[in-house]
Amino acid sequence: MIHIKPLRNSYRRMLLPVAAVAAALLFQAAPAKATYWRANVRDGSDIVMKDHRWPMKDRGTYYAFWLMGFAPSHPRLGSMYGGMHPNAPGQPPGMFMSYWGEVRNVCEGELFYPHGYGAEGAAGGAHGEAEFLRPGAWYRMVQRVFPAGSGEKDRARVGWWAKDVERNRWYTHSVVELPAPAAGFRVGSSGFVEALGPPTEPRAFERRLGYCRKDGKWYKADTVSSSGWKFFKLIEDGTVLRYDRAENDSHVRTVKEFTTKQPDEPPLDPPGVENVRAVSLGNQVAVSWEVPANASPQLGYKLETFANENATGKSIASVEALIPFVRLARLDTPYEAKSVRLTVRDIFDQEASVVVPVNPVWPRPARQDVGKLRPGLAYF
């Protein structure tokens, strides 16, 4: 579902001070009045993920936990940054992403909406109020670069998904399309914390289970370095890194590292698909399905049609696409199809398949004699 609405005043106030900060960070420069940090994400990774938690809701801090460019480099590819910030009392936190360079919005989750503008030359992205964000709860944040689709090798797409770990529910933030091929992320400084409210306001965030995937292999992104190291500490037996401070940001020349304890590979939810239905009209087959909210989000799908009822042997027609938001697809078959195999591919390249029969349907006869029609509307 796509939502288009005016940018809230809180976002306007927040975008202006942080845009210049993000640009500086990508060139390894520490912004004045912000604490920056870097994780050991491998350059060129196509997936970057980690859990974040905010122990409290403060009155004005921008927590930028995405800050990356794209690899391999290309003159038409820019960079991106995004994260979370508290809103006014009584409003849910904001969660947004902005891109520099040419981008085209593809889709947004139901809580978010696209924007085609931004401060400091941002070309696009998505904003919104994350109603599911709660103090003290963990959220799994995942970014993925993936191909735009078959026959579109000159483009790529970037998606952001978030999971409410406690309530076992996934949310889509946004997917945008890049104007040039990209295989992964070019990692600069991984994030920064900038005070937008009173300098004495307590502000804190926590991080755990950082991972990246490169060339199909998972690596731990478990080490964070910062010149603002005096605000970081390891908690919960070394499994969580906490940032906690309530004073103006300052920087020192030395940089320290903090490494969390974690498994070698990330916890991945299994993919899932339900309520699959296939109908045909002549040699056209339409298939609809749903992905449960607790299943790993869909990245793409494949439909295979068969002349028998058990989806065995060679398919008579098939279609495949990397489109996260499609839940209804149609294809033409050379002759009558009796069954369909639907395979859903998730954002981690896991797959779930379901075989269903194809049920023929026929157009219903008109309920009125067309010769007796008259201007107006009739309700049935």
Comparing CA positions, the residue from 15, 12, 31, 13 lying closest to residue 23 is 31
Give the integer Cα–Cα distance in Å for 172 and 184: 20
- For the chain, how many structural domains are there in total? 2
Query: Is residue 145 located within the same domain as residue 279?
Result: no
Q: Is residue 162 part of a domain?
A: yes
pLDDT over threshold 80, residue 15? no
- CB burial of 243-260 (b: ≥16 within 10 Å; e: otherwise) equals bebeeebebeeeeeebeb
The H or E element that residue 157 is part of is: strand 156-164
- The amino acid present at 358, given as its one-letter code, is V
At 153 the pLDDT is 79
At 365 the pLDDT is 73
Query: Is residue 171 located within the same domain as residue 212?
Result: yes
pLDDT over threshold 50, residue 127? yes
Query: Is residue 53 located within the same domain as residue 176?
Result: yes
For residue 375, what are the contacts with CB-CB under 8 A and spacing of at least 6?
A: none
Comparing CA positions, the residue from 327, 336, 329, 333 lying closest to residue 360 is 336
For residues 318 and 245, the answer to whether their CB atoms sit within 8 Å is no
Query: Is residue 128 located within the same domain as residue 90?
Result: yes
Q: Average pLDDT of 293-322?
A: 96
For residues 206 and 231, the answer to whether their CB atoms sit within 8 Å is no
For residues 64 and 251, the answer to whether their CB atoms sit within 8 Å is no
At 198 the pLDDT is 79
At 12 the pLDDT is 33
Q: Is residue 280 part of a domain?
A: yes
Q: Is residue 323 part of a domain?
A: yes
Q: Is residue 188 part of a domain?
A: yes
Give the integer Cα–Cα distance in Å for 234 and 369: 77
pLDDT over threshold 70, residue 218? yes
pLDDT in tens, 144-191: 999 987 667 789 999 999 999 999 999 999 999 999 999 999 987 689
Query: Is residue 103 located within the same domain as residue 239?
Result: yes
- With H, G, I as helix, E, B as strand and everything else as coil, classify residue 112: strand
- The amino acid present at 203, given as its one-letter code, is R
Q: Domain boundary residue among 224, 259, 294?
A: 259
Instruction: For residue 168, give the CATH number of its domain.
Output: 2.60.120
At 10 the pLDDT is 36
At 200 the pLDDT is 78
Question: How much of the chain exceeds pLDDT 70, in percent?
Answer: 85
Q: What is the DSSP letter of 166?
A: T
Pairing label, strands 274-281, 351-360: parallel
Q: Is residue 61 part of a domain?
A: yes
Q: Domain boundary residue among 259, 283, 308?
A: 259
Residue range(s) defining the domain that contains residue 354: 274-360
Q: What is the DSSP letter of 42?
A: P
For residues 230 and 254, the answer to whether their CB atoms sit within 8 Å is no
Q: Is residue 266 part of a domain?
A: no
- Gap between the terminal Cα atoms of the chain: 29
At 349 the pLDDT is 97
The burial class, CB within 10 Å (0-12 / 13-18 / 19+), for 227 is: middle
Query: Is residue 71 located within the same domain as residue 171?
Result: yes
Q: Is residue 307 part of a domain?
A: yes
Query: Is residue 295 located within the same domain as residue 254?
Result: no
Query: Is residue 220 located within the same domain as residue 86?
Result: yes
pLDDT in tens, 233-257: 999 999 999 999 866 555 567 899 9
At 120 the pLDDT is 63
Q: Average pLDDT of 120-124?
A: 75
Query: Is residue 230 located within the same domain as residue 324?
Result: no
Query: Is residue 100 located within the same domain as residue 196?
Result: yes
Instruction: For residue 342, give the CATH number of its domain.
Output: 2.60.40.10
Query: Is residue 242 located within the same domain as residue 324?
Result: no
At 259 the pLDDT is 98
For residue 143, what are the contacts with CB-CB under 8 A and spacing of at least 6?
A: 47, 48, 49, 66, 68, 158, 159, 160, 185
For residue 239, what are the contacts with CB-CB under 8 A and spacing of at least 6?
A: 208, 260, 261, 262
Q: Domain boundary residue among 259, 285, 305?
A: 259
Q: Is residue 302 part of a domain?
A: yes
Query: Is residue 91 located within the same domain as residue 226?
Result: yes
